[in-house]
Amino acid sequence: MSINYSEKIPNNVNLAEDRTLQRALEQWQPNFINWWDDMGPEGSTNSEVYLRTAVSVDPQGWAQFGHVKMRDYRWGVFLNPGEQDRKIHFGDHMGEAAWQDVPGEYRANLRRIIVTQGDTEPASVEQQRHLGLTAPSQYDLRNLFQINVEEGRHLWAMVYLLHKYFGRDGREEADALLQRNSGNADNPRILEAFNEKTPDWLSFFMFTYFTDRDGKFQLCALAESAFDPLARTTKFMLTEEAHHMFVGESGVGRVLQRTADMMNQLKTDDVSKLRAAGVIDLPTIQRYLNFHFSVTIDLFGADQSSNAATFYSSGLKGRYEESKRTDDHVLKGNSYKILDVVNGQLIEKEVPMLNALNEVLRDDYIKDSAGGVERWNRVLEKAGIDFRLKVPHKAFHRNIGTLAGVKVSPDGRVVSDAEWSAKQSEWLPTAEDRAYVASLMGRVVEPGKFANWIAPPVMGINRQPVDFEYVRFN
């Protein structure tokens, strides 16, 4: 299971034994590099970045750290080892052997799942491409670039599946993954949150905390798949994903730390005084949180979905931690509560669970993401600040399913259009908030120095000191 780096495309799937596939991927490779040059991190070409590169898929020490030019990063194809005699453990095929190939009747659905996942990976690189120009420190710049190269590798992971298992239409889909672009009016990315801008570093930290966590939940659900190569590839992607969420959680934590310190120093919670001192006030951080949380939970799809039922029953996509659950893993007679609006009130309504599996995954996600918000609140608590951050109600600012377009406050009240218009600027980032945050974004690249609006991290990367030269600008 070690990775062969002597080949053009590093891999642990014996690519050399499948000449046709190898040739097809080697033809896709320069297109990927062209895409990276055009749409990847701006102004990064000559820098050498202290990156981790996968050298094995063994959970103990799969990475090697060293300075690399990003363009020379060894993107490749890495799958977790297969389990002997793995069985399908949910849905109508439960107990049958996991599939090593794509069953004809599920081909279109599986392709769609893989393409949708694959599309998000390069999308986030595109969304983040200008951020390097305003990095608050070398440490943060390195983390951004690490995430970018790994999202690039996640694209490789999905492209490998498309090329290997889906023939000609798989190859066409792999090409299209490089042709759609985030926010492009004519050819946008598939999912809405991946067409939003990530214009500043507060947005970046919120995105990596909330939206990369959507990635975690989708990958966890796919790691249960009856299609074994998909399960194995997403398992390895998950080990990379953990760092992305760490960057978000610690990033927001450090912004809070800096703001809390300034509030104590100036003995004030006055927004204009704090802004004059160059830190991000807590109400603005809450509005950014509201925005990223609500946009991200839309990614789980409609609360009732016959596709979700089909994907589950046919074994394509499981639930989060499927094997830890104690029900029958078929779910035919089960029900689940979703939200509906009746006479201007939010009510709970029981529906067949199979149709509500998007909601099940969304609720698991909400539990997980609320945990980190409590850890952020501990930063404020320790600093003696009364303010607490909160995840908004799940009906707030939704754009998909039953709740699409219903106006709900962050505390979960259905509100009138008039109240919504009056309060919107308290609930979501305003143009002024965004302009203020943008005004703070200046490039700080001297080792060990940090922008005024963010505290340094407690520890460096891979036990290096915080003032280590994480990026060598050449």
Q: Does 119 interact with Fe ion (rule: CB under 5 A)?
A: no
Angle between helices 107-127 and 228-266 (to 10 degrees): 30
User: Interacting stretch for Fe ion, rule CB under 5 A, among 23-31, 234-242, 271-279, 400-408?
Assistant: 234-242
Q: Which is nearer to Fe ion, 44 or 143 (CB)?
A: 143
Least distance in Å: CB of 244 to Fe ion?
4
Q: Which is nearer to Fe ion, 151 or 359 (CB)?
A: 151
Q: How far apart are CA 114 and CA 168, in angstroms?
A: 15
Angle at 194 between CA 190 and CA 196, to 5 degrees: 125
Q: Which is nearer to Fe ion, 151 or 298 (CB)?
A: 151
**Which one, of 85, 60, 327, lies nearest residue 228 by Cα?**
85
What does the buried/exposed string (b/e) look like for 61-98 if buried means 16 or more CB atoms within 10 Å of the residue's CB? ebeeeeebebeebbbbbbbbeeeeeeebbbbebeeeeb
Contacts of 405 (CB under 8 A, 6+ apart): 398, 399
Q: How far apart are CA 67 and CA 65, in angstroms?
A: 7
Least distance in Å: CB of 191 to Fe ion?
13
Q: Does 129 interact with Fe ion (rule: CB under 5 A)?
A: no
What does the buried/exposed string (b/e) look like for 278-292 if buried means 16 or more CB atoms within 10 Å of the residue's CB? ebbbbebbbbbbbbb
Q: Does 434 interact with Fe ion (rule: CB under 5 A)?
A: no
User: Interacting stretch for Fe ion, rule CB under 5 A, among 30-38, 152-160, 308-316, 367-375?
Assistant: 152-160
Q: Does 433 interact with Fe ion (rule: CB under 5 A)?
A: no
Q: Does 154 interact with Fe ion (rule: CB under 5 A)?
A: yes
Instruction: Label residue 222 exposed, middle or buried (CB < 10 Å: 0-12, 13-18, 19+).
Output: buried
Q: How far apart are CA 363 and CA 376, in angstroms?
A: 20
Neighbouring C-beta atoms of residue 266, cutoff 10 Å:
14
Q: Which is nearer to Fe ion, 126 or 241 (CB)?
A: 241
Least distance in Å: CB of 43 to Fe ion?
22
Least distance in Å: CB of 373 to Fe ion?
19
Q: Does 244 interact with Fe ion (rule: CB under 5 A)?
A: yes
Q: Which is nearer to Fe ion, 119 or 121 (CB)?
A: 121
Instruction: Identify residues 201-220 at the interface with Fe ion (CB under 5 A).
Output: 212, 215
How many residues lie near Fe ion (CB under 5 A)? 7
Contacts of 221 (CB under 8 A, 6+ apart): 317, 318, 319, 320, 322, 361
Q: Does 153 interact with Fe ion (rule: CB under 5 A)?
A: no
User: Interacting stretch for Fe ion, rule CB under 5 A, among 22-30, 171-179, 244-252, 463-471?
Assistant: 244-252
Least distance in Å: CB of 133 to Fe ion?
21
Least distance in Å: CB of 240 to Fe ion?
7
Least distance in Å: CB of 216 to Fe ion?
8
Q: How far apart are CA 200 and CA 31, in angstroms?
A: 28
Site string for Fe ion, 380-409 (x = CB under 5 A): ------------------------------
Q: Which residues bind Fe ion (CB under 5 A)?
A: 121, 151, 154, 212, 215, 241, 244
